[in-house]
Amino acid sequence: MQVCQHHGRTNIEIATSADAFFRACLAADEAVRLGVPSSAPPNAAQQLAARLAQPKPMRRGSLSERFVKCGKPGCPCATDPKARHGPYYSLTRAVRGRTQSRLVSSVQADMVRSQIEAGHEFRERVDQYWKICEQWADEQVEGRSGDTAEAVEKGGSKRASKPTSAKRWKP
């Protein structure tokens, strides 16, 4: 078992290689220098990170279903909305600030729909992960803060030197 001789801490990750152990000691040095409390990530953050790390097919965009008129004069679709041609499925998404659309078959539409839903769930999980990590960061900042409420209040500071304006102030 290796123990950091400099810090003598038991909460330093025990490394099997000297190189990894050295990096762990340097990270602990930096954390101590910055006054960051050594705390493990919240359990919820670890669970979300594990779920986010599992890749699966997903996509951004939307899927629309359309029924269209063909334009032929003798076709019933011109007068009867229920006789229109379709459904035609269109996948639409933004690429480099421009809208891009493509037609997909009805078989592909079911798959694309589930991929879009998986993309929505992924974004929701990422938002949850951000929220948990920001709460964790706030807890670290509040735990480190030795400032009192009076010291943090807005009030500015006194001027260090006299103004150098050419205008004279008259009482």
Where a domain ends, among 104, 132, 156? 104
In a domain, 27, yes or no: yes
Does a structural domain hold residue 73?
A: yes
CB neighbours of 39 closer than 8 A, spacing ≥ 6?
A: 136, 139, 140
Would residue 17 count as lying in a domain? yes
Domain end residue (candidates: 55, 74, 104): 104
pLDDT value, residue 90: 96
135, 54, 38, 2: CA torsion to nearest 10: 180
Query: pLDDT tens-digit profile of 92-104?
Result: 999 999 999 999 9
In a domain, 83, yes or no: yes
Q: Which domain range does residue 83 map to?
A: 63-104
Determine if the pTM surpasses 0.75: no
CA-CA distance, 40 to 133, in Å (whole number)?
11
pLDDT attached to residue 46: 87
Low-confidence residues in the chain, pLDDT < 50: 1-18, 21-22, 25, 32
Question: Final residue of a domain: which of 104, 127, 158?
Answer: 104
Is 99 domain-assigned?
A: yes
Q: Does residue 169 lie within any of the structural domains?
A: no
Instruction: Say if residue 41 is preceded by a cis peptide, omega within 30 of 0.
Output: no
Does residue 150 fall inside a structural domain? no
Residue 30 domain-assigned (yes or no)? yes
Structurally, the chain folds into a number of domains equal to 2
